[in-house]
Amino acid sequence: MRLQNTGLRFAILGSGSRGNAALIECGRTALLLDCGFSARETAARLARHDRHHGKLSAILITHEHSDHCRGVASCARRFGVPVWMTAGTWSALKGQFDADTDIRLINPHEAFAIGDIEVQPFPVPHDAREPCQFSFSNGDTRFGFLTDIGSITTHVVDMLGDCDALVLECNHDARMLRDGPYPPSLKARIAGEHGHLENRVAAELLSRVMSPRLRYVAAAHLSETNNTPALAQAALARAMGCEPEWIDVAEQEEGLAFHHVSEAWV
Ligand SMILES: [Zn+2]
Ligand SMILES: [Zn+2]
């Protein structure tokens, strides 16, 4: 039998309010999670991670906000891949797609497989029509990805309690948002129950899902106006009981280099 790498790994192509996309790989499957950059920009960012857009298997969308799906219609057309999303997200986006785009609607309470990757969706409180976030598994190790969530629910805690690696939104620092330049209505939206996660709330979530399995944590979707990498790292490190440098930070331009959640060969 031919050796096949079933290791689970991911990289982040960019993270923040100017565009989000991540790449998750296992075996022969390469999944693009969100598509917040144009097709040309997505291809360039994939190339920076030594990947070619022709090798993508599918695109998976969390919700319809433009920082997560600005490029999805053009990427689906140019890369020739199916797009997976909830019915609510589809209802917000369908006008953008070519009629022959391969759309796969998902139930946000039901696990499904995309090639070699098991995907577990879960709904999140965020101001979109049917937003969900995901964990990914190769049947052995699990990786959780959570951004664009305004408050913690027990369901989210349950869904992330069994992860080997986690990417968590650390959108803003409460004091920086309060004292910052945004208009009051935008401050209220961001800090609201259906807005974005504050550093200390992300840290509280981390302390609730922590287990001996958890060996990697990265902060993502940081506001460039209302947060700093050092504040996000400090908050998550306090929850983990580790050095701040141990927490990785996904950046808007650079994203995050590949992390191997597992490196199994069978
Ligand atoms: Zn977002
Ligand atoms: Zn959003």
Ligand 2 mean position to 265 CA, how many Å? 37
Residues 59, 141, 202, CA angle at the centre, nearest 5°?
A: 75
Phi, psi of 253, deg, nearest 5: -85, -50
Segments of the chain with pLDDT less than 70: 1-5, 264-266
Mean pLDDT of the chain: 96
Residues 108, 112, 116, CA angle at the centre, nearest 5°?
A: 140
pLDDT per residue over 68-114, tens digit each? 999 999 999 999 999 999 999 999 999 999 999 999 999 999 999 99
pTM of the model: 0.96
Ligand 1 mean position to 23 CA, how many Å? 16
Q: Which residues surround ligand 1, an ion (CB under 5 A)?
A: 67, 148
Between 199-209 and 229-240, two packed helices, what is the crossing angle to 10 degrees? 30
Ligand 1 mean position to 264 CA, how many Å? 32
Distance CA 66, CA 69 (A): 5
Closest-lying ligand to the alpha carbon of 126? 2
- Residues with Cβ within 8 Å of 188's Cβ and at least 6 positions away in sequence, in order, are none
pLDDT at 6: 80
Ligand 2 mean position to 239 CA, how many Å? 25
- Residues with Cβ within 8 Å of 27's Cβ and at least 6 positions away in sequence, in order, are 4, 5, 6, 115, 116, 138
Q: What is the dihedral of CA 52, 50, 40, 79, to 10 degrees?
A: 20
Number of helices (H) and strands (E), helices first, in the chain?
A: 9, 14
